[in-house]
Structure 1
Amino acid sequence: MTAKKIIKYLCVFVVAPLIVLCGVFFFGDRKYAFISLVLSVVACIPFFISFEKGKNDARRIVIIAVMTALSVAGRFVFAPIPFFKPVTAIVIITAIYLGSEAGFITGSFSAVVSNFYFGQGPWTPFQMLAWGLIGFLAGLLAKKLVDSKVLLIIYGALSGIVFSFI
């Protein structure tokens, strides 16, 4: 495993959850905006590391921005319908076709950007973490999810449950 992969995995699976937990235990519900900002910066690290490989060009960045905007718009449109948010599906689609880094950044930015409308609060870092992890894991499982529609449906359903749990 290369150093870049280790840094990406540490950012997603260790640093991001630690930021959320430290925010909960040390700041309570008073510094959620600061925690969201720090988590947004950490969410960008795996994406920026992928620039080293030359994977990100303008077209890819625009597609990620559009997918993030679609998930935010979907959250606005379906706001009146309880427990139905297309963000998870869009994050999974982005991760499958653009990679785990793109899935993580789409998930975490969808939460923080849509909460400009819905209201930032102590729940924002948890939403960022949950959707980011769902996207990152979908990117890691992309080949299996594309090959098996049943597995894709199961992953989507479990993602909704995991999001609600987190």
Structure 2
Amino acid sequence: MNNKQMSTYKLTLLALLAALAVVGRSAFAFLPNVQPVTSLVIICGLLLGPVAAILLALLTTFLSNMLLGMGIWTIWQVVSWALIGLISGLIGKYPRRVPIYVIVLFAVFSGYLYGFIISLTAYSISGSFLPYYLSGLIFDTNHAIGNGIFIILLYPMISYFFTKYAKNRFSLQNTN
């Protein structure tokens, strides 16, 4: 399979993940900080690579914020999810399969990392970081727990379908 077909295949998977993330974020909007976006960015990074995960972060943030509202936080959401996607993409580059419990722990950690970076919004506007960050820890905990649950539910299913359709013709995380 040539690189153009690989690119088309990866773009199709990326579009599916973006649609799932936007719908999931909208569907779970009633639960504070519980949504599948972070988990899907992690899954994308692990299976498709860091560039695809960064693109997913960008697409998902802008598309979902068109529905939920744009603001200065949009920039920090892109930065947060892109960083998480980059890290997960680098983890996915290891030739050995990463155990699910490690992925779940990374997803939980990512909930707190996301919250920390989002808290920089308050610093960039008001100059005070610590009060905003501390008051948001309960929401970061919701995010972290949600990430762990979404990874447990989504990772086995998505990785199964991605590898099933990729077969042995090419590596999902070929070159980015």
Fold agreement, TM-score > 0.5? yes
Pairwise CA distance, 1:66: 1.0
Q: Deviations over 1:101-153 (max 9, x none)?
A: 00111012211110001111010010011001101110101138942222211
The size of the alignment, in residue pairs, is 114
Pairwise CA distance, 1:54: 5.6
Aligned residue number for residue 116 of structure 1: 66
Q: Within the alignment, does 1:69 sit opposite 2:22 as a pair?
A: no
Pair member with larger Rg: 2
Aligned residue number for residue 135 of structure 1: 85
Classify the secondary structure of the residue corresponding to 1:57. Answer: helix
Residues in 2 aligned to 1:68 and 1:136: alpha-carbon distance in whole angstroms:
16
| TM-align CA RMSD | 1.8
Q: Within the alignment, does 1:87 sit opposite 2:7 as a pair?
A: no
Q: Deviations over 1:64-91 (max 9, x none)?
A: 1110111111000000011201101111
> Which aligned pairs between 1:3-82 and structure 2 lie closer than 5 A?
56-82=6-32
% identity of equivalent residues? 31
Flag the 1:136–1:54 CA change in 2: closer, same or farther, 3 A: farther
- Structure 2: gaps (5+ residues): 118-176
Aligned residue number for residue 109 of structure 2: 158
